[in-house]
């Protein structure tokens, strides 16, 4: 068997311990990030029949922007999109 593949030989190779830790930590953090995005992102809808368009329920007056350095959002006209009634 190769060195570093058993626990006994891994004790003598601390650089491989760090490598195994990082290789195991990266997919774990990726899975946590993906789960958080899927649960808390307002653009993701898991109930397709109850909320057909969940992105229509953004709050009026709240600024949703990625980055705009020169645009003043306070003086924009109201959104002309029709408002759907809130879900029951």
The rounded distance, in Å, linking the Cα atoms of 54 and 88 is: 14
53-58: average pLDDT: 62
28 in a structural domain:
yes
Regarding pTM above 0.75, the answer is: no
Give the pair of three-digit tokens for residue 72. Answer: 């003043």
Q: Is the pLDDT of residue 81 over 90?
A: no
1 in a structural domain:
no
35 in a structural domain:
yes
Give the pair of three-digit tokens for residue 79. Answer: 């959104």
**Which residues have CB under 8 Å from 42's CB, separation 6+?**
54, 55, 57, 58
Count of domains forming the chain: 1
Write out the residue range of the structural domain in which residue 64 sits. Answer: 7-75
């Amino acid at each position: 068997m190769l060195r570093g593949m058993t626990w006994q030989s891994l004790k003598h190779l601390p650089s491989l311990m760090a490598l195994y830790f990082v290789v195991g930590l990266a997919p774990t953090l990726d899975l946590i990030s993906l789960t958080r995005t899927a649960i808390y992102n307002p653009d993701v809808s898991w109930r397709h029949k109850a909320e057909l368009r969940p992105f229509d329920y953004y709050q009026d007056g709240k600024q949703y922007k990625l980055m705009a350095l020169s645009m003043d959002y306070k003086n924009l006209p109201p959104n002309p999109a029709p408002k759907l009634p809130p879900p029951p």
